[in-house]
Chain A
């Protein structure tokens, strides 16, 4: 019970399959892309859950399904004790106030024809919060919260730099005092010096407003910096979930090891000494994933069993915490 309380949102066996349609009338079904294939995790109150993976692993699809922007093929997302997929339109509308999203592309995420003020006040308009004067005051308050000049309220997005635009996106997400913000690669489109600004802003806001984040990224360094728990996805499935420090100190799944090894550390002396393991091969297409453990064609540890059976997530922790990995040879060093 106590454990349950700590979670703001739980994702249980979430699935999203896309039908591949072909043919003249687009009605001949040719199978499925299993973009998200049964993932389970929880986001703790006031904490950040980092979701990591390469393109096609399903992390963005998972984010959009959790927000019910696309309909799931199966599973549950439990928020406030109820499954949001079973909510009525009206109930869902109310829940939307508490869950928001920040996008990757600071250009595509703001309508070029609206002023910063209009963009940030849109959530207030939609949910009919306060009157005009209140909304304007609130927008100015939000602008200062994200460290923008409130006097720039009437400017258009193209008059801001990409970092400032990302701040506008954050202000919009904060307008309704949400509890959870899904951050879909919020810094990967930004310049290095601006990335740090945004990451700092986000961690600062998290503390100040007691927000929970689902932080999606392909950049392990940024994820490590902000997350307390991390899940690694590969081809629609979760391959490892652990506390952030445990994951980085002692990765269990060979994919996680390879992923971490692939990221060069910006420190020439350390980097030149580091023994890197380069994963070979391409990421397979999710249309036709490999049998058994879908990582086996690229895995240096793969045995016959990996081709035939799919490993389930099991706990491999040695310190009493939870450190789940889906591998028959979890924890075995790669070389």
Chain B
């Protein structure tokens, strides 16, 4: 009983002297974020990826789809930095261009999840009652489905293709966002500032937009960032299974799947796209983790 005594905050809280306090949650969070080395590594990886995907044509040394028959299965060297695959395509250039697909899928799919999730979560959390019960039960059904299996099922129905990947991953992810947003609404719905707004005659729409959104966004940003990593993995898995982006477009998952047969003779075929996936996902997870600590240092 004595050990868990007092929250640090209670014990040392003093009134904030204006001289020392900072201006807003986001500035405060940014300051903490920049002190977190892992988060900065994550952020650097993400920044590098964005740079690479934007400037792929300038960074690539070859056409990623160009086949040079005589250069089949060349090991990494001065001409082909990451070596070539069975068809004589430059792996380095394919990895560079592959970042475009991964980033696009990650961001668009999560964006779709986010939009559906926020809308559903807002209705469920704010209005409660029957709409809440209905939405959350539907969400439960989505939770019960293994993510990848669900994606495979949807892709099998819709057929392969990048747009369908957006749809599949986007639809599967909404339930997490809805649940998260709903719970943060529930925790602030009864705060007195919401009551104050209602006493002023503010409409529900205004309360959600002006008060609930800005105060519940931090966990959404954190989860969204981490979810981009997940979406990229799912996309890689789908492409690996041949359900995703269709050849010859260079997707990392699909490159991995092509490398399987040459794992002993040409390990570089697997190594480079594999590392690309690992680093990308790591980047988003580290950054998301850092964001969480930055927004709420007490959660550590």
Direct contact of A and B (CB under 8 A): yes
Binding site for B on A (CB under 8 A): 25, 64, 67, 69, 92-93, 96-97, 99-101, 103-105, 108-114, 122-123, 126-127, 155-156, 158-162, 169, 172, 176
**Of the 9-residue stretches B18-26, B222-230, B264-272, B280-288, which lies at the interface with chain A?**
B18-26
Closest Cβ of chain A: how far from B118's Cβ, in Å?
Answer: 17
Q: Which residues of B contact A64 (CB under 8 A)?
A: 195
- Is residue B77 contacting chain A, with contact meaning CB distance below 8 A? no
A-B contact count (CB 8 A): 74
Known: A100-B199, A109-B191, A159-B18. 17 other contacts (CB 8 A): A67-B199, A96-B199, A101-B196, A103-B192, A105-B192, A108-B191, A108-B192, A109-B192, A109-B193, A111-B215, A113-B25, A122-B200, A122-B210, A126-B202, A156-B23, A159-B21, A162-B15
> Does the CB pair B196–A103 fall under 8 Å?
yes
Closest Cβ of chain A: how far from B11's Cβ, in Å?
Answer: 16
- Is residue B201 contacting chain A, with contact meaning CB distance below 8 A? yes
Residue among B15, B21, B133, B193 making CB contact with A108, cutoff 8 Å:
B193
Contact with A along B130-170 (1 / 0, CB 8 A): 00010000000000000000000000000000000000000
Residue among B133, B196, B198, B200 making CB contact with A109, cutoff 8 Å:
B196
Q: Which residue of A lies closest to B216 (CB)?
A: A113
Known: A113-B214, A159-B23, A161-B15. A126 touches B193 (CB 8 A): no
Residue among B18, B200, B215 making CB contact with A112, cutoff 8 Å:
B215
Most chain B CB within a 10 A radius of its CB, from A67, A96, A108, A127: A108
> Does the CB pair B200–A123 fall under 8 Å?
yes
Q: Which residues of A contact B32 (CB under 8 A)?
A: none
Report Cα–Cα, A93/B198, bound state, in Å.
Answer: 10
Q: Which residue of A lies closest to B14 (CB)?
A: A161
Jot down 16 A-B pairs with beta carbons below 8 A, ordered by A: A64-B195, A93-B201, A96-B200, A97-B201, A108-B193, A109-B191, A109-B193, A111-B211, A113-B24, A113-B25, A113-B214, A122-B210, A127-B200, A156-B23, A158-B16, A162-B15
Q: Which residue of A lies closest to B195 (CB)?
A: A69
Binding site for A on B (CB under 8 A): 15-16, 18, 21-25, 133, 191-193, 195-202, 206, 210-211, 214-215
Contact residues of B: prevailing secondary structure: helix
Known: A101-B195, A156-B23, A159-B23. A96 touches B215 (CB 8 A): no
Report Cα–Cα, A173/B198, bound state, in Å.
Answer: 12
Closest Cβ of chain B: how far from A178's Cβ, in Å?
Answer: 10
Report Cα–Cα, A155/B25, bound state, in Å.
Answer: 12
Closest Cβ of chain A: how far from B184's Cβ, in Å?
Answer: 13
> Does the CB pair B192–A158 fall under 8 Å?
no
